[in-house]
Structure 1
Amino acid sequence: MSFITVVLFSGVFSMLSFNIASDGFVYTNGEDRLQSALSALLVMRPGAGRSAVDAHLDIIETELASRKGAAWRQIAETLLLFDRREHIQHHITVRIVDIALDTADDDTANAIIQTCAEWVAADDKPGVFSGQLLARAADSPWRERLARHPDIAELLSGSYGPGAGVVLDAIASLPLDDRTRDRIALGIVERNPRSGSVPTILLPFFSDASLDLLRNLVATSGNDVAELHFAAASVLAHRGDEAILPVLRRLYEQAVNLSLRTGRSFLRGYILKIELQNPPERLIEYIASTEHATHADLRMWAIHRAVERGFPAEMVREAILQHAAAVESQRVVLAPDRDRQGMVDWSLQQVKAAGVDVGALTPDDLPSIALPERSREHHH
């Protein structure tokens, strides 16, 4: 940052020197530059220029590099005053944590991670802010230290909320042991009973003991569709858990009778996922069939699940090719109008993309079926 040094003289022996920053903020020589920068950032609101923010962040970075832990303690106290509901204050806080982690020594890194942990634990509305803090730490040179934090499972599961995809990224990238991943996944599911699906990344993490707990959650909430622990049911359905089928079938009938469209849709999906895995060979049969030819979601799931369950890629490939051929041969019946034809085309594209994703197909297979744009970008 550039400074203009101005010297004022009052008589021959009296002199006061001070600096004017390029953004107009004044620092006297006797004033703590770090506190001045923090104070300026504290009052910034939307519309503040990026150069003004960066000028103060430059000062913070310099002070952190030279004063380490002492600077961080001072920063942490002031950051408590920031209103992180304001987008710019949220952004500045995360930027400062990012800078602090990059310049930290060993002891300071401990202090920063502990401070972030305290903020996350105190956040009564987990989501974007707490998730971004943890994601910053997970992407820093101190990621292994964060992974060993005694409360990491509670911090990550407690930070999962709206817009917290960064939490999932942190879970994926941190060197966590299996027991910790299990606790994180279980914590997220327990905290989100109304979530109809669970992020795919979490599904492999559940231990047998955790699955028992999820079965209990479904059983104890299974008298009323409005009370069902949907997230627990979603995990167990993915695993093909027949033990919860009686509860799901009873609640499905209840949802139909009450015209609960969303609940009915989720419950039907759970039931189908379990039925398609008992026996597991039904997954391959379903992939090859023309059932649900205009809706790809369940078939895409079946393709991924078949590979997860150990079916050879060649077997999955043959099933996909059979499905595509059968749909084309029955297109007139399956898609008697233009709208349904479009749905069939879209479904075939998604199925091909799923096959490519799991390595059962190559992009050159089924040349008459275009890959969706996102898949073309990913595979070229």
Structure 2
Amino acid sequence: MYRTRRAALAGIAAVGGASLTGCLGGRATDSVTGGAEDTGAGAPPPTVDAGYHLAYEADTLVSESLDGGVGKDGIPSVDDPAFRPIAEADMAGNEPVFGVVRGGEAKAYPRRILSHHEIVNDEVGGESVAITYCPLTGTAQGFRRGDTTFGVSGRLVNSNLIMYDRATDSWWPQMLATGVDGSMADETLDEFRVVWTTAGEWATRHPDASLMTEETGYVRRYDSDPYGSYAPLSGYYVRDGTRFPPLASPEDGHAKSVVIGARTATGAVAFDKTTLLSERVLTGTVGEGGPAVIAVADPALSTGYVYRNPDEVAVEPDGDEYRVDGEGGFEAADLPLERLLAFDAMWFAWYGFYPDTAFVGEHTRAGYGG
């Protein structure tokens, strides 16, 4: 039997009530002026053969899901986004954006816009993609969508957005990238990296990038975050509590501290983001005592990358680049090692889904690690 929003009222009261949109709250009272085009159901989304480690069975995740209180598509995806050159953007340089590069094209999606929509069905580099964001877990992830589109189901698990695809109506918890209900249960989406960075950092790295605008087809107060603020840090993003009970809770660390997490078919690893940006290189394993991995920072984008390192080759900073086994000139995103897909997440959310995760670094403050 599903737990409902009512069952989590104690958790909501602990952090204070508010009129919300996003993963949790009610639909915004602003009217819809146009909105998403009817893109049709299409074929099922593309999947990959290699799945990710799951600490829970699919039926357990479904039974632990919560009614977010908004209903299916109560938080509307943006299916016809508009863009302008980032060089023409009138926005603060420290404003968080989600950066994507596909097929030689660079785009940026302002976090404050996605906090009201959570999913943008778009095309980047000639490829149909979905850019997704869950404010409650601090996770931005990208997926190939093929001929279909993704929408917001109105349900959560471990505080995380459950997406659905409009071809099969299957449920996909965003962080897991794995189907848990419907005809595509146990399938794994084709995921790609989304970089949590700032408008100024992304514009410096990609001066020809396009920036998503507020022309979404919906009337929303995009200058108002329903949960708080990242610049400066406030509200939900800095409090140690969560709005809904997590699947599991770590003994150490601030719930809203940020990790860069990676998972394989056999386990998961989380690197504290602030520690990584400070030390530049961290080593660890997938799960406790599993295969060796290494994380390196890209301070210019306030992000990091995780690689398999089975031979435990030496990696060290070399100016803005890195030396690998004595050879220099490698950028953080392009070491001669197998890169794992990784993304930012709030520590409580990562641990909730992966209680058997390895953790590397020092437990630090809440924030986005920048």
**TM more than 0.5:** no
Q: Which has the higher contact order (CA 8 A, sep 6+)?
A: 2
TM-score, with structure 1 as normaliser: 0.23
TM-score, with structure 2 as normaliser: 0.24
